[in-house]
Amino acid sequence: MVDRFELEARSLSVAYDGADGALPALQSIDLPVRAGAFVAVLGPSGSGKTTLLNAFAGFVRPTAGEVFFRGRPIAGPSAERAVVFQRHALLPWLDVADNVAFPLKVRGIPYRTRRQAVVPLLLRVGLAEFASKPVWTLSGGMQQRVGLARALAADPAVLLLDEPLGALDAITREDMQRVLLDLWATTAKTALLITHDIEEAVFLATHLVVLSERPGRIVARLDLDFSARVAAGEDAAAIRADHAFTAVKAELRAIMHRGASAAALGHAA
């Protein structure tokens, strides 16, 4: 039987229409993602990593190559692949519970039923007591919890995370990484995280790819087990301080600097 991946990019290239010709954003990306994996895509600003997520989400079409979800070509956005954005994605006129229940609303589930249905989710992300608060009164970290809970309410197969923690302060960010990790570990969903934060990528990913500067190509692939260890009960702080953890971070930092200078010189990395 042919191995079927949950998500797959095959020789994916994406170019945008610019003022003077096509602007290549991604070049020949091959990225198979197994069900249940947590893939982090690490890259500098402008490396096309959000374009990669947009291709998996179905927001942009490949210029060349293909993207698949469970072996079928991706034709457009779908509730099987929910996206969590960095900001601006919540609906400020709704309260927390109504935001989280939005995926149920569009499926025609009645108001009372859907508000009841999201209570367990709100409990899981620590928002139960904020259910009736307008979302715009919450802090940035709380808003991202709403965004996460809402994506999970759609019960997607894949969570696409577009720098969801990018606008948070360092401490809130680490807390949210734990929330994200716990949700991933307990729901057995496939996750694809876009980030430029090396520590975050190393902490969360089971598989990590590094993109070069524009046009983005994959310059490194790593398999990691730190998130699995945390999920298995090891102390997160101890793992972050682990020698192996810091060594991987240092290696990635070197790779990213090399990628940047290679791009500046116009060479392939």
Partner 1 sequence: MMEVLFMGTPRAVAEQIAREREAPIHPPVDPPAVRTVRRKPWRPRPSLLLALSLVFWLALWSLASWLQWVQPLFLPSPLAVAERFGSTLTAGFADATLLQHIAASLVRVLSALACALLVGIPVGIGMGLSPLIRGIFDPVIEAYRPIPPLAYLPLVVIWFGIGEGPKILLIFLAILPAIALSTASGVRGVPLERINAALTLGANRFQLLRDVILPNALPDILVGTRIGLAVGWSTLVAAELVAATRGLGFMIHTASNFLVTDVVIVGIITIAAIAFAMEFVMRLLERRLTPWKGKL
- We find the least distance from the C-beta atom of residue 213 to partner 1, in angstroms, to be 24
- We find the least distance from the C-beta atom of residue 67 to partner 1, in angstroms, to be 14
- We find the least distance from the C-beta atom of residue 92 to partner 1, in angstroms, to be 4
- We find the least distance from the C-beta atom of residue 219 to partner 1, in angstroms, to be 28
Contact 86, 162 (CB under 8 A): yes
Side-chain half-sphere of 85: how many Cα atoms within 13 Å?
7
Q: Any idea what DSSP says for residue 263?
A: H
- Residue nearer to partner 1 on the CB measure, 105 or 249: 105
- We find the least distance from the C-beta atom of residue 104 to partner 1, in angstroms, to be 9
- Residue nearer to partner 1 on the CB measure, 57 or 194: 57
Nearest to 33 by CA among 231, 192, 223: 192
- We find the least distance from the C-beta atom of residue 3 to partner 1, in angstroms, to be 26
Catalog residues that contact partner 1 under the rule CB under 8 A: 57-59, 76-79, 81-83, 85-93, 102-103, 105-107, 134-136, 143, 150-151, 154, 156, 160
- Residue nearer to partner 1 on the CB measure, 60 or 222: 60
Cα separation values, 73 from 9, 11, 118, 129, Å: 10, 13, 31, 41
Strands lying side by side in the sheet with 158-162:
81-84, 158-162, 190-195, 38-42, 207-211, 218-223
Q: How many CB atoms lie within 10 A of CB 106?
A: 10
- Residue nearer to partner 1 on the CB measure, 27 or 190: 190
Give me the amino acid identity at 203: F
- Residue nearer to partner 1 on the CB measure, 84 or 269: 84
Side-chain half-sphere of 145: how many Cα atoms within 13 Å?
27
- Residue nearer to partner 1 on the CB measure, 14 or 90: 90
Contact 96, 122 (CB under 8 A): yes
- We find the least distance from the C-beta atom of residue 217 to partner 1, in angstroms, to be 25
- Residue nearer to partner 1 on the CB measure, 41 or 252: 41
Contact 43, 212 (CB under 8 A): yes
Tokens of 92: 């400020």
